[in-house]
Amino acid sequence: MKQTTTLGHSTFNINRIGLGCMGMSEFYGSFNENESINTLHKAIDLGVNFFDTADMYGSGANEQLLGKAFKGRWDNLVLATKFAIMRGPNGEFLGVNGKPEYIKQSCDQSLQNLGVESIDLYYMHRKDPEVEIEEIVGTMSDLVKEGKIKSIGLSEVDAETLRRAHAVHPITALQTEYSLWSREPEQEIFEVCKELGITFVAYSPLGRGFLTGAIKSRADLEEGDFRLGNPRFTDEAIHENLKFVEVIEQIAKSKGVTKAQVALAWILSQNDEIVTIPGTRKVHRLEENLVAFIIELTPADLEVIQNSSPAETTGSRD
């Protein structure tokens, strides 16, 4: 299986399994800075060179963590961060902002948090409904000209918006949730990305941990874990959605591998250019995920997954 790809309209050659860093600072229960830094360093040792963060993860704390972990080690790393989701002084969510002045302020703050002079891939995290995409991407294009960012990405936009954005400035990557229980991008987005030369980056490829089989009830989640408020993690939804895990487990057992490895191998098998960014704080999970590269899913395996998976997922994804 192809392990690297060129990231869209850029010169970056990246490992197709990157590392999502959100959970190192918030959202998924308790976390430990030293453990996270150890995992980040181990990721580099194992050949991972594509790391994903955002200014809203821990209200800047995640960017600062990566800045600390990678200080003096930025060579050959590709770092993606994002703007648009506003947080208040106590971490409260204040909505989405795509106004030019806010984008520029956010970029400057991210550069400071990370301790770098330029951001490799800068995403619009979510679209501000009150600002046209042409104005947002135009502002991001100005940041490219100023040398503050090297390439432009979007997250969670539809095909039409992606086309309009790309007409203003080449879009390097589109990031959207994609996994066995979140397959919406297959409807239009994959085709448009291929047509326009945009790399598709799949986030939450393990269904926020659910597809690994580690979550069999709400009791498996720590108090304060944001998944407790997610519609897919109600008692009823967990019970119904375990059918996805059973399908993956069937393939995993036949190959002597883990469910996480099958779930990631399935994504990578969709096409040779797709990139995925499973998140973890733990070295052993990082090592487990990277084994997905050497797992070959046969046409028969893919057919079993396709035909046996539930037609719909119980609960919206957010």
Closest to 22 in 3D by CA, of 107, 92, 81, 85: 81
Q: E strands, the chain, where?
A: 4-6, 13-15, 19-20, 50-52, 78-83, 85-87, 93-96, 121-124, 152-155, 173-177, 199-203, 275-276
* Residue 57 annotated among the catalytic residues of the structure: yes
Q: Which residues are bridge partners to 154 per DSSP?
A: 124, 174
Q: Which of 57, 122, 123, 178 is catalytic?
A: 57
Distances (CA, A) of 312 to 118, 243, 250, 294, 299: 42, 11, 19, 29, 22
Closest to 22 in 3D by CA, of 50, 68, 63: 63
Distances (CA, A) of 59 to 56, 90, 272: 5, 9, 34
For 124-139, give the DSSP string. E-S--TTS-HHHHHHH
Say what the alpha-carbon torsion angle 70, 73, 76, 79 is, to the nearest 10 degrees. Answer: 20
Q: Known catalytic residues? A: 57
